[in-house]
Amino acid sequence: MDTFGYSVMGHECGNYQDIVFRDNVAHSIHGYGAIIFKNESDKGADYFNCIEASYFTAYKCSKVGIVSNQAVNNVIFSNMILIDNGISAIASIGIEGDLQTSNMNNIKFYGETEVKDCKV
């Protein structure tokens, strides 16, 4: 059975002052380091358009270090360190259309081996 270290709400995109989930670490999880979702009760800001998770570290998580698949137009992961996870990060958009984006900013990825399908 898969488990997760954290299941938390993302923060308002670009707002780094009011982050509740910050500077946390998930490690040695048989599953997911963190699952990020939107705050359905927050009708203000730009919450249904964009969610962000930042300042997080995940290592040795067997499935994914951090994942989000929400019905928003934009998902942003920023300022993270992801080490030796099955998959480092999945910033998925849960709706279809032409204007959706997933962004990863200032992320450090570390792994034990070379990625076989990536030529540098």
Q: Return the pLDDT at 98.
A: 79
Closest alpha carbon to 85 in 103, 68, 67: 67
Q: Look up residue 48 and give its two tokens.
A: 């249904």
Question: From CA 72, how far away is CA 74, in angstroms rounded?
Answer: 6
Q: Which residues contact 46 (CB under 8 A, 6 or more apart)?
A: 12, 13
pLDDT grade for 100, boundaries at 50, 70 and 90? confident
pLDDT digits (tens, 9 = 90+) for 43-58: 555 556 889 999 999 9
Backbone phi, psi, residue 42, to 5°: -90, 100
Query: pTM value?
Result: 0.84
Strand ordering across the sheet containing 24-27: 24-27, 50-59, 74-83, 101-110
Chain centroid to CA 2:
17
What's the length of the chain? 120
Average pLDDT of 29-41? 88
Parse the chain into domains and list their residue ranges: 3-110
